[in-house]
Amino acid sequence: MNAGRTYLDWNATAPLRPEARAGVMAALDLVGNPSSPHAEGRRARAVVEDARESVASLIGARPSEVVFTSGGAESNNAVFAGGWETVFVAGIEHDSVLAPARASGARIIELPVASTGVVPADRAADLMRGAHEPGPALLSLQLANNETGVLQPVSAIAALAREHGLLVHTDAVQAVGRVPVDMRSLGVDFLTLSAHKIGGPKGIGALVIRDGASLPALIRGGGQERRRRAGTEAVAAIAGFGAAAQAAQRDLAGMARVRALREQLEAEVLGLAPDAVIVAAEADRLPNTSSIALAGTAAETLVIALDLAGIAVSAGAACSSGKVGASHVLEAMGVAPGIARAAIRVSLGWSSREADVAAFVEAWAHVAARRRERAVA
């Protein structure tokens, strides 16, 4: 990270872990194609399969269920190419879920979202009971929201979905490495992962497909990834993903420290500006994520002011930050427009320190002071 800068945008991407960098560099020296039967090919294949085992271990899956992809967006898009007639989905999902769902030709049934950002299991059950028709049906529910950090009751809703004959997908991109994730306990059929959110390289992810569930091949024309995704595997990126998965599993216990930093940051923010809003503060959230709004100050203005002060945060999702207007996530939650337009996302990670929180709070104090000056003028 740049000297003199404070990085608080981990939900957009995490810094590359040293273990992942070492894994990538070592794999770049491998000559063989992992599909070749000779010694060089077998060495490359061993790297891919070792990484597959590490990724599977991180989320309690079997290695045979892990399909490497180019990232979370590809994995999410692949799920909605499953020929579903009905899709249940909430308005808080990432665009890489909502866009392919709407383009799939399926009948879309929107799951309700409470003001806390949580999809209530009882209301989802009523909707499934009354709206599901015969034919292949999918329910997609994220494990954690990228903007607010709100955790969803995926296990409870997946159990209800199975009673109605639905298959279940969860986008776990933001949750993995920050809270324990176990695919069997969740009871889902499809699970999406992205390496760069846990300190792996960008451009590599996975779609985990439960043994017994099926989807059309993501890419055709070769036998790679058990004929689910043709094309020579990105060996170096996969090696980095595997190394990051091992490190993320090791560092899970450290998330309690990150939560304490997040709580300290929120307390100091409210101390400086008591009318600031912590979005979904009452909900169960990721330990590293805070959505903060200062009414009357546009999110874009806050992001720029903080950037000039050496602090990197974001307004909404990184892939949507160029858009003008309020977050679709906050809109689905029913957050007042004045708050939604003012919300920024602060997200920490395994190497965040008290000094990072102090730097943010110092910059926030200047923003709050200027706001008070404008109010008096």
pLDDT at residue 150, as a whole number: 98
Q: Which of 197, 220, 250 is the last residue of a domain?
A: 250
Active site residue 319: yes
Q: Which of 250, 277, 312 is the last residue of a domain?
A: 250
- Segment 359-377, tens digit of pLDDT: 999 999 998 888 777 766 5
- Tell me: do 245 and 286 sit in the same domain: no
- Tell me: do 150 and 298 sit in the same domain: no
User: What's the rounded Cα separation, in Å, for the pair 230 and 242?
Assistant: 20
Catalytic choice (281, 319, 339, 358):
319
- Tell me: do 278 and 335 sit in the same domain: yes
Give the least confident one: 76-80, 132-136, 234-238, 327-331.
132-136
Give the domain extent around 346.
6-15+253-376
Q: Is the pTM of this model over 0.85?
A: yes
User: What's the rounded Cα separation, in Å, for the pair 298 and 280?
Assistant: 19
Q: How far lies 264's CA from each of 110, 147, 277, 284, 352, in Å?
A: 36, 19, 15, 17, 13
pLDDT at residue 321, as a whole number: 45
In a domain, 1, yes or no: no
User: What's the rounded Cα separation, in Å, for the pair 329 and 58?
Assistant: 28
pLDDT tier for residue 7 given thresholds of 50, 70 and 90: very high
- Tell me: do 89 and 211 sit in the same domain: yes
Q: Which amino acid is at 78?
A: A
- Tell me: do 138 and 192 sit in the same domain: yes
- Tell me: do 370 and 317 sit in the same domain: yes
Give the least confident one: 274-283, 304-313, 362-371.
362-371
pLDDT tier for residue 29 given thresholds of 50, 70 and 90: very high
Statement: residue 210 has pLDDT above 80: yes
The CATH number for 55's domain is 3.40.640.10
Statement: residue 318 has pLDDT above 70: no
Cβ–Cβ under 8 Å, residues 333 and 115: yes
Burial class (CB in 10 A: 0-12, 13-18, 19+), 212: exposed
pLDDT tier for residue 259 given thresholds of 50, 70 and 90: very high
